[in-house]
Amino acid sequence: MKSEQAMSASYDEEYDDELAWLEEVGNPYRSMVAAAVTEPVVAAAFCYPADHLAHPMSRPVRRLIRRMRGQARWDDRLPALGRRHSVVALTEHSLLVFEYRIGTGPDALGPCLGRWARDAISLEAWRTELVQSSNGQTDRMDLLQLTATTPDGTLALDLPAADQPGIKEFEQALAGSA
């Protein structure tokens, strides 16, 4: 049990370091994506596959059931456990999804996992609140839910909206293109 506690404390410290770094640099996702692509970046933000936050433990089972029913979504391929997560970016001409490795600082942006031309997809976004209750305690999280219908299938993402850099940029870009 001591090793699990030590590992948890180490992860918590790394997470706190990551949050401090994010506060210091503003929206690092936009600058990281801008360094990786050749077109101007309109918006970029940290994201999770849809429903990951609401059902983190059952997500692998849900993915398997969708695959078996022939209803797999593109976002079922995205990482969302441990230190591997995703960053979604909107440029003037594309929607992109990158791997993002927590705890690696400015070199956190990994490979591009998906890229679609904006004129080949439809995008919808809306704000919602995720409410979770356990042990008599209720937690609320403001989310921007983004759904894209792509030639490769549906891409559904949850972007934590409270105090995350890039959310307002997404909302403005999507409102301007509607």
Instruction: With respect to residue 10, please indicate whether it lies within any of the assigned structural domains.
Output: no
- Which of 153, 49, 155, 142 is closest to 96 using CA atoms? 155
Instruction: With respect to residue 5, please indicate whether it lies within any of the assigned structural domains.
Output: no
- Identity of residue 77: R
Supply the pLDDT for residue 2: 39
pLDDT in tens, 89-109: 999 999 999 998 887 666 788
Instruction: With respect to residue 12, please indicate whether it lies within any of the assigned structural domains.
Output: no
Look up the domain containing 50 and give its range: 27-177
Q: Domain count for the chain, please give it.
A: 1
Instruction: With respect to residue 97, please indicate whether it lies within any of the assigned structural domains.
Output: yes
pLDDT in tens, 41-75: 999 998 888 776 665 556 667 777 877 888 777 77
Instruction: With respect to residue 108, please indicate whether it lies within any of the assigned structural domains.
Output: yes
Instruction: With respect to residue 168, please indicate whether it lies within any of the assigned structural domains.
Output: yes
DSSP string, the chain: -HHHHHHHHHHHHHHHHHHHHHHHHS-HHHHHHHHH-SS-EEEEEEEEETTTTTSTTTHHHHHHHHHHTT---GGGGS--BTTEEEEEEEESSEEEEEEEETTSGGG-EEEEEEEEEGGG-EEEEEEEEEEEEETTEEEEEEEEEEEEEETTEEEEEEEE-TT-TTHHHHHHHHHHH-
Q: Where residue 150 sits, what CATH number does that domain have? A: 2.30.29
Instruction: Report the alpha-carbon distance of residue 8 to residue 48 in Å, rounded.
Output: 21
Please state whether the predicted TM-score (pTM) of the whole model is above 0.75. Answer: no
Supply the pLDDT for residue 6: 40
